[in-house]
A = this chain, B = another copy of it.
C-alpha cells in the first residue's frame, strides 16, 4: 500500500513546534503536524478548584476547541450551540488526564495550570497534536514559575507526547491524516512518557474488531512516532 501523501506506514508527518507564539500566556505553542495546526497555551492561576483546596497540591486542567473553519465544512460554534459536544468533552478530559500524569502536584504547589488547545486547522490527529504541543507550553509555564522563585522543585517529572496509529484496510499506519482516519478500521491514540511507559491507550474498532497481533504492531509504530515527537519537542524554537 502506498499512502496518499507518499509516507511509509510508520512515518509521521512533518512537525514544527513554535514556542512563545503569543505574547500574553505563560506558555504558548503553535504545533504543526502536516496540515494540522493547534495553538496550545498554558495559563497559571494562583488557586485550585474547591475539591483540591488546602492540600498544598496543584492542579492541571485542559480545554479544547476548534475554529469553525478549521474543518473542510464549517462546524457550528459550540458557544452558539450553547454547549460543548461529547467529542470536545472527551478530548479535553483526555488532555487534562495525560498532562496531570507527568506533573508532581506537590512540587507545583496550590495553583492551577489551565491548558487551552485551539485547533486552527484540522487534518486528523488534533487531540494527539494538542497533547504534544501542550506539554511544551506546560513546561515553559513551569520554567517561568521556577525562574520567578514561585516553586522550588521541578514539577514536570517526565517528557510526554502522543500520537495516533490505526489500521487502514489491512495496513497498520502511523499518524493518520483526516482522509485515512475517516476510512480506518481501527483508530488508536497512544500517550507515552520518555521512560517508555503508557499514560493513555485508547483503541477503537470503527469497522471490524482487531486482534492482539494487530494491537502489538500498532504499539510498536506508536512508540517510534512518539520518540520522534519528543525530539521535535526538544528542538522547538522560540
Contacts and interface: CB of A to CB of B under 8 A. Distances in A.
Number of copies: 6
Interface stretch (A3-11, A125-133, A148-156, A203-211): A203-211
Given A23-B121, A41-B69, A219-B212, A204 B97 contact: yes
State which size class the interface on A falls in: 35 or more
Contacts of A181: none
A199 interface: yes
A70 B201 contact: no
Contacts of A198: 203, 205, 209-212, 215
Nearest to A41: B69
Of A25, A116, A204, chain B has the most CB atoms within 10 Å of the CB of A204
A116 B202 contact: no
A201 B201 contact: yes
9 contacts: A22-B70, A28-B69, A63-B77, A65-B67, A80-B84, A82-B83, A118-B120, A198-B205, A202-B202
Interface of A: 22-25, 28, 35, 39, 41, 43, 45, 63, 65, 67-72, 74, 77-90, 92-93, 97, 101, 114, 116, 118, 120-121, 158, 188, 192-193, 195-206, 208-212, 215, 219
Nearest to A207: B101
